Structure 1
Amino acid sequence: MGSFSLCTSKISIIIITILLLSFHQSYSQPIQSTHLLDLIIRDYTIRNFKLNLNTGTPQKIHLPSNFSGIEIDTVKLRCGSLRRYGARIGEFHIGSGVTVKPCPERVMLVRQNLGSNWSSIYSTGYNLTGYNYQLVSPVLGLLAYNANPDGVATNPFEVNVSGTDQNPILIDFLNNKASGNTNPSTSPKTITKNSSVLCACFTSNGNTTFSDQVSPYVCKGTRQGHYALVMTIEARRKDDDSGDGGMVTSSTEVSGGGGRLSRWKVVVGSVIGSGIGAILLGMLVVAMLVKVKKKAEREEMERRAYEEEALQVSMVGHVRAPTAPGTRTLPITADDRYKNSHLIN
């Protein structure tokens, strides 16, 4: 009986080892399905989500080393607040008035930045070369799932977040506030002048839609999904030959309510700096005026003192010469002393 249980335990260990090896091997092999990659990211996000975080607090999710190059950020929001006020997570700005279907009590937003390594699965999976396009930016994804008030849902399902042309979802590929990177490898001049650069939206049904940028490096979408900047292959070759080509990089920032903060900070800082500069310039001008006035007063006092103490001038022959009043004692001779003493006696 003991030998039978020992044999059974050994067989169980061998089966578990084989399953673990096959699981690790499947994760180590390159993933070619974009839907499978979304499911893996979703599972890791749910597994590593911190339940003690408050609603609206962003969290960065760290993937295993075999998914290096992918940046994941998530935030849990109230569904009603998301519809009324919108949200900002990374490069995605969800405007107010979006539609959330279905609308659970909590919604978990997952932002993806696939980087230069993993973005290629969208290039091959959606056959961009067949459209004569190449990626010039990482593929950015925004997906929404249901969440419980006390944590993430045990049975997660995808929630559809959609906007309109008047209240769209904006994707800013130059959102680098978190990393401090302000020098993308592709210059805005190239993107602005080259009309062949378009926004690509990769839908879940396998189609790709292209649209113009609303402004340099900014795309507009009407629903959640994956977006990227693309350029025709011929134009990309020309930019690479001229040294202007490259891939636009982006980084993470998460906030609720939407809206840019950097512009008004720059304006306030400029106003404060201009005010301080004007005050310092005014103080310098006042100091110079006071110095000039004191110098003039000193010269006037010296001039008056010189005029009051000036010597009298009289003619000595044909020459004008200064003369002093007769204040010295006159010399007395011996005869004068004798006469003075005789008069006294």
Structure 2
Amino acid sequence: MISLANFYRVFFAILLSKFPFQNAQSPPKNISLSSRFLDSVLQDYAFRSFFRHRQVTGVIYDGNVSPELTGITVSALRLRSGGLRRKGYFGYKEFDIPAGVFENPYVERVVLVYQNLGNWSSVYYPMPGYLYLSPVVGLFAYNASLSPAKVLPELDLRASEDPILIKFESFGVLKDGVSPKCVFFDLFGGVEFDRVVNGSVCKGIKQGHFGVVVEENVPAPVPAPAMMPVKGPENPIAVGGDGGDKKGGSNGWWVGGMVGGVFLVVAAAAVYGVMVAVRRCVRRRRVEKMEYVTEGGVSLAVVAVGNGKMPVAMEMRTKPVLENEYVT
């Protein structure tokens, strides 16, 4: 019984035989194959590289494609899902995969397949009105069962924290007014544009194909307008007469009211402070007077008694007189 992978290879070979190749480096424009079918074929070529080597986790294995697809390169990378999520993987061809990337559904080991479509980019991913400045590259995740008898299930690879970076080679100096754009092709035929960062870097959060394009017919830059005389304000703040600007007048009253309110608050605070100081002074004078009256105007001596001090009268104020002294 023929497997699904072998069926795809046979069908692909028969389909390619219908269109003779004159030059593999310049693919004919009349070929129209499904990009998803191409993904399955390139997946099979990438997985074959594992069986030619000892399978080592974290090592990139480059695959070989058929002569009919010369110009396309594929690679495979086997990783542990836990390590991929904790550490990421940097330097997988053009891709820098950050920590926090996860696959759905979860598997213990994952195989990341890399594609570089080279000069086939515009064939499988045509962009009318745009020119490619880079080849279209792809990244896909598969369950790492590595069974050659069946097509491995495709996983949904997404970034949860930092985005995936796709670092293309420098595009050189572009003409003035020409701004490159990142283009992303998802697995369902959708196309998204984004800006290029750091000169030649694109960002993505999920698996698919990436490239850099520029508009084919970029319009000439619009010349800057001639210098015009500076025009005065249409709504002057100063208002005079009945025909003045009511809005400017209301703004003036509003500012004046604010200044007056602040002045009143400051004045009230100052008056309150003076009143508090006067009350404290009067109270202090009253206490001093009461103390003077209590002591009878005569200050008493102070002597130490134990650990404290207390006032005492050193002598009697009235000299005592005996009763016999009154008898003459």
TM-score normalised per structure 2 = 0.55
- Is 1:225 aligned to 2:221, yes or no? no
Match of 2:144?
A: 147
| Matched residue type, 1:159 | L
Match of 1:199?
A: 182
Q: CA deviation at 1:54?
A: 1.1
Q: CA deviation at 1:73?
A: 1.2
Measured in 2, the distance between the counterparts of 1:158 and 1:46 equals 13
| Matched residue type, 2:67 | S
Match of 2:163?
A: 168
Aligned residue among 81, 93, 98 for 2:96: 93
| Matched residue type, 1:140 | V
Aligned residue among 16, 21, 25 for 2:14: 25
Q: Secondary structure at the match of 2:217?
A: helix
- Show the 5 A alignment for 1:321-332: none
Q: CA deviation at 1:23?
A: 6.0
Q: Secondary structure at the match of 1:104?
A: coil
TM-score normalised per structure 1 = 0.53
Q: Say whether the 8 Å CA contact 2:178–2:218 is kept in structure 1.
A: no
Aligned residue among 152, 167, 172 for 1:156: 152
| Matched residue type, 1:38 | D
Match of 2:42?
A: 41
Match of 2:67?
A: 65
Measured in 1, the distance between the counterparts of 2:82 and 2:32 equals 36
Measured in 1, the distance between the counterparts of 2:101 and 2:16 equals 36
Measured in 2, the distance between the counterparts of 1:136 and 1:41 equals 23
Q: Say whether the 8 Å CA contact 2:49–2:76 is kept in structure 1.
A: no
Measured in 1, the distance between the counterparts of 2:112 and 2:220 equals 37
Q: Secondary structure at the match of 1:227?
A: strand
Q: Summarize deviations over 1:135-155 as a string: whole Å, max 9, x none.
A: 22110101111012x767845
- Show the 5 A alignment for 1:282-321: none
| Alignment CA distance shift 1:169-1:23 (3 Å) | closer
Q: CA deviation at 1:237?
A: 11
Q: CA deviation at 1:133?
A: 2.1
Of structures 1 and 2, the larger Rg is shown by: 2
Q: How many residues align?
A: 199
| Alignment CA distance shift 1:21-1:217 (3 Å) | closer
Q: What stretches of structure 2 of length at least 5 have no aligned partner?
A: 1-8, 20-30, 222-328
| Alignment CA distance shift 1:108-1:35 (3 Å) | same
Q: Say whether the 8 Å CA contact 2:181–2:214 is kept in structure 1.
A: yes
Q: CA deviation at 1:31?
A: 4.9
Q: Secondary structure at the match of 2:218?
A: helix
Q: Say whether the 8 Å CA contact 1:123–1:135 is kept in structure 2.
A: no
Q: Summarize deviations over 1:15-65 as a string: whole Å, max 9, x none.
A: xxxxx9976332344452111110110122223422622111111101111
Identical-pair percentage: 35
| Matched residue type, 1:43 | D
Measured in 2, the distance between the counterparts of 1:67 and 1:112 equals 12
Q: Secondary structure at the match of 1:35?
A: helix
Q: Secondary structure at the match of 2:187?
A: coil
**Backbone CA RMSD of aligned residues:** 2.7
Aligned residue among 101, 104, 109 for 1:106: 109
Measured in 1, the distance between the counterparts of 2:155 and 2:11 equals 32
Larger proportion of helix: 1
Match of 2:265?
A: none
Q: Secondary structure at the match of 2:40?
A: helix
Q: Say whether the 8 Å CA contact 1:33–1:121 is kept in structure 2.
A: no
Q: Secondary structure at the match of 1:81?
A: helix
Q: Say whether the 8 Å CA contact 1:74–1:108 is kept in structure 2.
A: yes
